[in-house]
Structure 1
Amino acid sequence: MELGKKAYSNIMENYNYINKLMLNELKISSEHDGLTGNFRERSWIRFFRSIIPLKYSLSQGVKIIDSEENVSNEVDIAVYDEQYTPYVFQYDEVKYIPIEAVAVVIECKSTSYTRKDLKNWSESIDSLKSKPTGIARMVQGYSVGITNPTQQATRPIKVLASLKKYIRDTAVENVKGELGDFFDFILLDKQEGTDQSIIDVIVKHEDKSLGWWGSYLNSGIKSDTNSSLKLQFIEDKLQKIKSEGEEKEFFDNYSELRLNSETLLLDNTLKDLKVEGNPLITLNLQLNQLLMLINNPMLFPHLAYAKAFNKANLNL
């Protein structure tokens, strides 16, 4: 047990060290105008590569497209799945990635930005529409997205990675109020003490349930209620533990899950994944939890993109 505690302590200390080291590296890059943007993005890529599962690819400087001929603003870093959607269309130095493949989009800023520009960037992502018309062979037979309730839609998790410095908690709350509806995660430089600062993580909707997040990311619906997450095979499991009188043992064993004893609906929130005093571990856990909730990869809608290319060909 003591060895286990020491291991966890070492991991936490290492993340705090990485936090300060990375912030210092990003600040140094910002002092060299010719390399600033590119170097800053590469620094963020290295960090996100270290916490995002290897099933995802990361690319710098891309645009996201959909089959309705919509194109996003340039995305500094895109996290996408090439295992099931290996179609990255490249023209010269620009990569175009279909929305169905994209899991995370990251906007990298130095010490200055405007709310208007960030709002426009965020809305250019939200305007993209995935199509549930992909066809694939599943275990139970051939499936189309429209007949599969878990493959109806998807939208990327949006991250703002910024070097803008904030000192007071009231300023951080202002950022949350101004940008929290445009970005799921906001990373900023928060000063702690006289000459020390860290990368802090802000999530406006941290107190929302995982059920709320699942609905928001998969259908774009930001519900007014904090909906619980319905689990599969609930009825059989609930009936079994009640018939065998094992309710207490069951809930003791799974105490980290907030399960309603009558329905076994899951009420955990993103805030439950917060590790106090360690923003980067918190980001690691929260971001990867959301990656496990989104419909990614979507079944790629080949027919919809063929139609879009043919439509564009007629206009040449």
Structure 2
Amino acid sequence: MGNTKTYTDVMKMLAQNYEEIEHSIVNQLMLNVFNHYLTEGMYREGVWKSLFEMIIPKKYCIEQGVFIIDSYGNKSKEVDLAIYDELYTPYIFNYENVRFIPIEAVAAVVQCKSNGIESEDILEWAESIDKLLTSLDSVTRMATGMTDNYTDTRKVTQTATRPIKILCALAENITNEDLKKEFDIILTVDKDKKKLIKFVREEDSSLNTWNCSLNHAMEGTEPESRELIKEKADRQARIFNKEGTGNARPHLLQDLKIGQDKGNGVEENVLLSLIFQLNQFLMVLNNPMLFPHRAYADTFNRILNGYDREQGEGHGQEKEHGKEK
């Protein structure tokens, strides 16, 4: 590329390049190589993985076929792709070839579907993610001194983070409204046009809405145990700038869509839009919550010594071998 190219030429070339990459990804997804649904599923997960590796910062790792855990006794169903921060949260628990990633590290989870869309199964999977809860039981040194988030009452910008939920499928249209409410981003395939179709939940929502959703995820929950009801109240009291940012960035994600009028209306450059929108999501989360070492250590000790915290019974009690203490 010589010096004769103008800035406008360069931007048009970049946009066209991402359209060509999008076509290539769709062709790879549609390739019917192995004629075996398990092998094809793994292959297509690999294609989706390569897409996300191409567009997110290198500080994130992408792991295939993992489970996510929290320190409250919850474990997710298997996650096809987990996007997590290994820089600030280097604790990935391994059992042979199976990896268990603490929820505090996870920025996004991806469910990949090669064949039919079984809404009930996908919603159960999403529910297993929603049950995971980050802990504030962390200690670290800040510029102003030592901070103990377990006892501190100061306002914080993150009280309970949750991962961005993404559904990737070969189906051309997702019509199930429950799925659209559950997933933040849905990517499907237009087989005829060889293009990706992107759906973003509440795409016209404000920065304040997404900040509350991603960084104060306990706000919309209804805890069942007394312990978690109290913890929710404590966390709500610590939310920094609870009234939000007013009308700042009223359409946070909608403003990041890239499109071009090609004669038949504006056609979205899906991959280029996804780069801006997904990375804006990641920047709203920014760094993960401080890792709660004691919370996980307590969980190991409690279980190894026969005590297990019971969730969902509304009593916040511990049990020893199935009996109340």
> Which category of TM-score, normalised to the shorter sequence, fits these structures?
0.7 to 0.9
1:150-193: CA deviation from partner (whole Å, max 9, x where unpaired) = 23110000000111123xxxxx5x34x231111100000135xx
- Provide closer, same or farther for how the CA distance between residues 295 and 289 of structure 1 changes in structure 2, counting only shifts above 3 A: closer
Greater fraction helix: 1
Partner of 1:252: none
- Alpha-carbon deviations, 1:200-244, whole Å to 9, x = none? 110121011111001011122469xxx99539xxxxxxxxxxxxx
Distance 1:215 1:163 in 2: 31
- Whether the 8 Å CA contact 1:150–1:295 is kept in 2: the answer is no
More deviation, 12-21/301-310: 12-21
**Letter of the 2:179 counterpart:** L
Alignment correspondent of 2:180: 180
TM-score (norm 1): 0.80
Give aligned-pair identity as a percent.
41
Structure-2 separation of matches of 1:144 and 1:26: 47
Cα 1:20–1:294 change in 2 (3 A) is: same
Distance 1:7 1:35 in 2: 40
Provide closer, same or farther for how the CA distance between residues 230 and 73 of structure 1 changes in structure 2, counting only shifts above 3 A: same
Matched residues in 2 for 1:99 and 1:65: separation?
6
- C-alpha distance in 1, partners of 2:62/2:200? 22
Contact kept in structure 1, 2:205 and 2:250, CA below 8 Å:
no
Aligned counterpart, 2:228: none
Preserved contact between residue 212 and residue 228 of structure 1 (Cα < 8 Å): no
Secondary structure in structure 2 of the residue aligned to 1:201: strand
Instruction: Provide structure 1 residue ranges, at least 5 long, that are not aligned to the other structure.
Output: 167-171, 232-259
Provide the rounded CA distance (Å) in 2 between the counterparts of 1:206 and 1:199: 17
Partner residue in 2 for 1:116: 120
Which residue is 1:237 aligned to?
A: none
Q: Is the 8 A contact 2:204 2:250 kept in 1?
A: no
2:195 maps to 198
- Look up the equivalent residue of 1:102 and give its one-letter code: V
How far apart are the structure 2 equivalents of 1:8 and 1:149?
40
The Cα offsets for residues 80-121 of structure 1, whole Å up to 9 and x where unpaired, read as 111111000010111000000000000011131211111111
> Contact 1:229–1:267 (CA<8 Å) still a contact in 2?
no
1:43-122 aligned at under 5 Å gives the runs: 43-122=47-126
Q: Say which is worse superposed, 112-121 or 97-106, in terms of deviation.
A: 112-121
Instruction: Find the aligned partners of 2:158 and 2:141 in 1 and give their Cα distance.
Output: 14
Distance 1:140 1:105, change over 3 A: same
Counterpart among 245, 251, 256 of residue 230 in structure 1: 245
Runs of 4+ in structure 1 off by over 4 angstroms are none
Quick one: distance in 2 between partners of 1:157 and 1:4?
34
The total of aligned residue pairs comes to: 271
Native 8 Å contact 2:88 2:287 kept in 1: no
2:166 is aligned to 159
CA gap 1:9/1:229 in 2 versus in 1, 3 angstroms: farther
Distance, in Å, in 2 between the alignment partners of 1:83 and 1:5 is 37
Determine if contact 2:161/2:289 at 8 Å carries over to the other structure.
Answer: yes
Unmatched runs of 5 consecutive residues or more in structure 2:
222-241, 260-267, 308-325
Aligned AA (1:200): I
Structure-1 separation of matches of 2:115 and 2:273: 23
Distance 1:295 1:285, change over 3 A: closer
- Aligned residue type for 2:203: E
**Which of 156, 171, 174 is the matching residue for 1:149?**
156
Deviations 1:129-162 (A, max 9, x none): 0001211111111123354512311000000011
- Give the one of 8, 11, 14 matched to 1:11: 14
